[in-house]
């Protein structure tokens, strides 16, 4: 892809965003590569958790427990598929995309699970005009992402699998146990090439999810991605991702001061856990999900505000607007919970928090 085209794309897939790193890892990789893999398992781990390859610095993609990433990679070496589960915003999709980019070089074979997902989205469907004109043929087949991954020995991603109806989920069972898709209309079956696997994600806190059958769960290794274990880790994740996202949007604003990031992360952690960080005071949790991902988009949103309508420096008013939007989702209840937090916790925290407290109070009046 040329440079011009690259600039026109709103969001680059991981394999393009980190093309230089992947290339350097490939060149420096001395270990053997499993069938269908572009890199050795060790090089995939370096891509995800950071390090060096030749002279090139590899930025960490997943920040947290390295062992979880090792287990995810190891799963894909076996005939079991991988399922990443956890609360919203714990980097399930992000890890899935980057794993796929490193191992397979194409993270775009994705099925997005919804209530409307049908078996055809998982297997194949037909170009009906062609089907009517010529009858079933290879040309008339519309291949699903999973079909294409099986054909090439690659990875398919299945996002939010638990939002699909149970019968639809169960269409995966035969694919994962037999590693084939039968095409009765053509009297043949498609057998997966070595290297094929699936990385699925599922939220544990989601409305409208369907229970997964035991038979399906057995086909997957489940790995739970936790919320960041402490403030420092979460601040690091947020700072890093805000920097990357702001750069890709070319926002003309300074990245948020570390103090602002720390304040946002502190507020989010306290509201999420229902208590102040020191554990001394209870706080009411708002109705919505206030995840790390939310903190990231709040701060990139603040940068956009500061860049477009301010002097390029994030101010307390920008943060207050973002906090209000992230926390007050259900008008009545959340507004009260946020007010209580402002009065009982934030107001008492002294001078470093005073301006933010004031801006938030005005916004929530
Ligand atoms: N532990 C983490 N390491 C790196 N990035 C993280 C981490 N946790 C959250 N993020 C960031 O949060 C954002 C949202 O993550 P996403 O994968 O969409 O969440 P999920 O699919 O679990 O709901 C991404 O930009 C991701 O980089
Ligand atoms: Mg996701």
Q: What atom in ligand 1 is closest to the CA of residue 94?
A: 17
Distance (angstroms) between ligand 1 centre and the Cα of 212 equals 23
- Whether residue 62 has its Cβ less than 6 Å from ligand 1: yes
Number of domains the chain contains: 2
The C-alpha atoms of residue 323 and residue 342 are separated, in whole angstroms, by 12
150 and 133 assigned to the same domain:
yes
- Going by their DSSP bridges, the two strands 155-159 and 197-203 should be labelled as parallel
247 and 320 assigned to the same domain:
yes
174 and 46 assigned to the same domain:
yes
- Whether residue 88 has its Cβ less than 6 Å from ligand 1: yes
Average pLDDT over residues 108-112: 96
CATH of the domain at 103: 3.40.50.300
Burial of 4 (0-12, 13-18, 19+ CB in 10 A): exposed
Distances (CA, A) of 210 to 62, 93, 172, 253: 28, 19, 15, 43
- What pLDDT, on the 0 to 100 scale, is given for residue 250? 83
Task: Please identify, among 225, 243, 264, the residue that sits at the C-terminal boundary of a domain.
Answer: 225
Distance (angstroms) between ligand 2 centre and the Cα of 329 equals 20
195 and 242 assigned to the same domain:
no
Distance (angstroms) between ligand 2 centre and the Cα of 159 equals 7
The C-alpha atoms of residue 11 and residue 93 are separated, in whole angstroms, by 14
Specify the higher pLDDT residue, 331 or 109.
109
The C-alpha atoms of residue 224 and residue 227 are separated, in whole angstroms, by 10
- Whether residue 241 has its Cβ less than 6 Å from ligand 1: yes
* 285-311 confidence digits (pLDDT tens): 898 888 999 999 999 999 998 888 988
Angle between helices 316-327 and 258-273 (to 10 degrees): 20
- Is the pLDDT at 79 greater than 90? The verdict is no
Average pLDDT over all residues of the chain: 92
Task: Please identify, among 196, 225, 254, the residue that sits at the C-terminal boundary of a domain.
Answer: 225
156 and 71 assigned to the same domain:
yes
CA angle 161, 97, 177 (to 5 degrees): 50
Distance (angstroms) between ligand 1 centre and the Cα of 354 equals 30
212 and 261 assigned to the same domain:
no
- Whether residue 64 has its Cβ less than 6 Å from ligand 1: yes
* 308-363 confidence digits (pLDDT tens): 898 889 999 999 999 999 999 877 889 999 999 999 999 999 899 999 999 999 99
pLDDT band per the 50, 70, 90 thresholds, residue 4:
very low
104 and 252 assigned to the same domain:
no
46 and 161 assigned to the same domain:
yes
- Whether residue 93 has its Cβ less than 6 Å from ligand 1: yes
**3-class DSSP assignment, residue 108:** coil
pLDDT band per the 50, 70, 90 thresholds, residue 201:
very high
205 and 238 assigned to the same domain:
no
- Is the pLDDT at 3 greater than 60? The verdict is no
Least confident window among 29-33, 155-159, 312-316 = 312-316
The residue range of the domain holding 357 is 231-363
pLDDT band per the 50, 70, 90 thresholds, residue 7:
low
The C-alpha atoms of residue 132 and residue 334 are separated, in whole angstroms, by 55
- Whether residue 84 has its Cβ less than 6 Å from ligand 1: no
Q: Output the CA torsion sign for 169, 173, 179, 182.
A: negative
In the chain, the percentage of residues whose pLDDT exceeds 70 is: 97
- What pLDDT, on the 0 to 100 scale, is given for residue 8? 62
Q: How distant is the alpha carbon of residue 272 from its chain centre?
A: 19
The C-alpha atoms of residue 262 and residue 282 are separated, in whole angstroms, by 20
155 and 191 assigned to the same domain:
yes
- Whether residue 272 has its Cβ less than 6 Å from ligand 1: no
The C-alpha atoms of residue 203 and residue 86 are separated, in whole angstroms, by 5
pLDDT band per the 50, 70, 90 thresholds, residue 52:
very high
Average pLDDT over residues 39-65: 97
Task: Please identify, among 173, 190, 225, the residue that sits at the C-terminal boundary of a domain.
Answer: 225
* Nearest ligand, measured from the Cα of 11: 1
Distance (angstroms) between ligand 1 centre and the Cα of 291 equals 9
Helix (H) or strand (E) holding 272: helix 258-273
Whether 112 and 157 have beta carbons less than 8 Å apart is answered as no
Whether 299 and 264 have beta carbons less than 8 Å apart is answered as yes
Whether 161 and 202 have beta carbons less than 8 Å apart is answered as yes
Distance (angstroms) between ligand 1 centre and the Cα of 213 equals 27
36 and 62 assigned to the same domain:
yes
Whether 130 and 114 have beta carbons less than 8 Å apart is answered as no
pLDDT band per the 50, 70, 90 thresholds, residue 2:
very low
- Is the pLDDT at 5 greater than 60? The verdict is no
Burial of 168 (0-12, 13-18, 19+ CB in 10 A): buried
pTM of the shown model: 0.91
- Whether residue 96 has its Cβ less than 6 Å from ligand 1: no
Least confident window among 86-100, 207-221, 232-246, 281-295 = 207-221
Whether 286 and 323 have beta carbons less than 8 Å apart is answered as no
303 and 242 assigned to the same domain:
yes
């Amino acid at each position: 892809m040329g440079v011009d085209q690259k600039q026109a794309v709103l969001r680059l897939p991981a394999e393009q965003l980190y093309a230089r790193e992947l290339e350097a890892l490939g060149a420096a990789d001395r270990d053997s590569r499993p069938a269908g893999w572009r890199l050795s398992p060790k090089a995939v781990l370096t891509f995800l958790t950071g390090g060096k390859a030749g002279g090139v610095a590899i930025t960490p993609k997943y920040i947290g427990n390295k062992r979880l990433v090792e287990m995810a990679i190891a799963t894909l070496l076996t005939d079991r598929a991988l399922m990443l589960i956890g609360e919203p915003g714990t980097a399930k999709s992000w890890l899935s995309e980057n794993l796929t980019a490193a191992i397979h070089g194409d993270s775009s074979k994705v099925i997005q699970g919804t209530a409307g997902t049908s078996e055809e989205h998982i297997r194949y469907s037909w170009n009906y005009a062609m089907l009517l004109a010529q009858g079933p043929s290879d040309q008339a087949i519309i291949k699903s992402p999973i079909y294409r991954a099986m054909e090439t020995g690659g990875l398919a991603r299945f996002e939010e699998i638990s939002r699909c109806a149970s019968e639809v989920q169960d269409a995966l069972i035969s694919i994962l146990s037999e590693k084939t898709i039968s095409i009765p209309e053509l009297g043949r079956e498609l057998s997966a090439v070595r290297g094929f696997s699936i990385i699925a994600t599922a939220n544990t806190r989601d409305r409208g999810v369907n229970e997964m059958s035991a038979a399906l769960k057995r086909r997957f290794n489940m790995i739970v991605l936790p919320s960041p274990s402490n403030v420092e880790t979460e601040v690091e994740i947020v700072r890093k991702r805000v920097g990357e996202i702001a750069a890709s949007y070319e926002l003309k604003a300074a990245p948020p001061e570390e103090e602002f990031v720390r304040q946002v992360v502190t507020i989010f952690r306290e509201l999420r856990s229902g208590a102040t960080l020191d554990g001394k005071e209870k706080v009411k949790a708002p109705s919505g999900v206030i995840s790390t991902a939310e903190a990231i988009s709040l701060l990139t949103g603040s940068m956009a505000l500061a860049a477009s309508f301010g002097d390029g420096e994030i101010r307390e008013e920008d943060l207050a607007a973002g906090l209000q939007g992230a926390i007050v989702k259900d008008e009545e209840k959340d507004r009260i919970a946020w007010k209580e937090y402002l009065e009982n916790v934030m107001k008492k925290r002294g001078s470093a928090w005073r301006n933010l407290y004031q801006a938030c109070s005005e916004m929530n009046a």
